[in-house]
Amino acid sequence: MPLIEDHHYLKICAQLASCLSISIAAARRKVEVAAAKEGKKDLPSRKEIAKNLLNQTLENKKTETYSSSSSFDELLKALKEEENFMLED
């Protein structure tokens, strides 16, 4: 992924990262993947996609009734096929 030095794009990605509690690099990667799915490669399109993702995330945060700690707890639950996995004997 080439380095994009556009201040507004990086600011939107930083806001997205903050809302999702992920790194800025992960937020940029999320935008890049969404842009690749839509077949858009130019910077204005990526900015628009990043804005849309940010708006969707903010809307989801408003409608959710549980806190970030409960969503983190949900992420830590073991999958059915992994619940009996032991790292050491």
List the structure tokens of 34: 């969404």
Which residue's structure tokens are 């989801």?
Answer: 60
Q: How far apart are CA 47 and CA 74, in angstroms?
A: 31
List the structure tokens of 57: 């995330």
Tell me: the pLDDT tens digits for 36-68? 999 988 888 999 999 999 999 888 877 765 566
List the structure tokens of 59: 């809307």
List the structure tokens of 78: 């073991």
Confidence (pTM) = 0.66
Report the candidate in 45, 76, 59 with the shortest Cα–Cα distance to residue 16.
59
- Give residue 6's identity as a one-letter amino acid code: D
